[in-house]
């Protein structure tokens, strides 16, 4: 997915706010979602599914990863935005055309709301890990990944843990299931507290990230 986090994203989101029409605000169990759209043809059933996905997934992610995550989040459907989705602070902008072409991809919401939970700001750590964690979360918490035909990317020798998204997510999932359960939560916290450095992998596992990747590459399907 195309992502713009802090640099320049404020301009995009401000523009969305100007063009958006018919805001709807929903509050459930202490969480509030504001839904904005400037797309006259946006499917009401999809809108409702996005809302339900938010309230199913976001409170759980906040509980598991960051209990200080924003209580109020805004979804903006913007016909002028040409990426897939982008998150800045508690605001997420979505391209409605993406859903026209990929109607089953509801877990774009899961990936993006994890970015709200992450809330790393500038200097949290490497972007590949930010996106790898978000796709790991999509894999673990997604409501309908099969409906989007979405899976973690199969391992290939030419890959690197720095490839981000599903490649990094598969590596993280392998670590979780091979003696390092809970490492994603720990890495997420390190990123949020801006204490990430490459030595954190050895601090958490006893091995460097390169050594961990070598072990994964030697037996990725175990």
Query: What pTM value is reported for the model?
Result: 0.91
Q: Which residues contact 68 (CB under 8 A, 6 or more apart)?
A: none
Return the SS3 of 52. helix
The 10s digit of each residue's pLDDT in 12-58 is 444 444 454 679 999 999 999 999 999 999 999 999 999 999 999 99
pLDDT at 22: 76
Q: How far apart are CA 21 and CA 39, in angstroms?
A: 8
Distance from chain centroid for Cα 11: 21
> Domains in the chain, start-ordered, CATH in brackets?
9-118 (3.30.2010.30), 131-218 (no CATH)
pLDDT at 120: 97
pLDDT at 5: 40
Q: What percent of the chain has pLDDT over 90?
A: 89
Q: What are residue 106's DSSP bridge partners?
A: none
Residue 97 has which token pair?
């055309």
Residue 151 has which token pair?
């899976």
């Amino acid at each position: 997915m195309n992502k713009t986090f802090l640099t320049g994203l404020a301009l995009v989101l401000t523009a969305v706010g100007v063009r958006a029409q018919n805001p709807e605000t929903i509050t459930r169990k202490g969480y509030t979602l504001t839904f904005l759209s400037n797309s006259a043809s946006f499917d009401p059933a999809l809108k409702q599914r996005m809302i339900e996905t938010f309230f199913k997934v976001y409170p759980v992610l906040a509980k598991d990863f960051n209990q200080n995550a924003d209580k109020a989040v805004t979804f903006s459907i913007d016909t002028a935005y040409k990426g897939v989705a982008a998150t800045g602070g508690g605001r997420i902008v979505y391209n409605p055309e993406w859903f026209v072409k990929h109607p089953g991809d509801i877990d774009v919401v899961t990936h993006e709301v994890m970015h709200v939970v992450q809330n790393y700001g500038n200097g949290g750590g490497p972007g590949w890990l930010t996106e790898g964690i978000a796709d790991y979360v999509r894999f673990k918490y997604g409501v309908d990944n099969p409906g989007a035909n979405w899976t973690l990317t199969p391992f290939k020798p030419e890959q690197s843990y720095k490839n981000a998204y599903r490649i990094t997510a598969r590596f993280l999932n392998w670590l979780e299931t091979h003696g390092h359960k809970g490492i994603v939560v720990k890495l997420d916290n390190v990123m949020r507290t801006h204490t990430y450095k490459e030595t954190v992998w050895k601090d958490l596992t006893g091995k460097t990230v390169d050594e961990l990747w070598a072990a994964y590459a030697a037996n990725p399907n175990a």
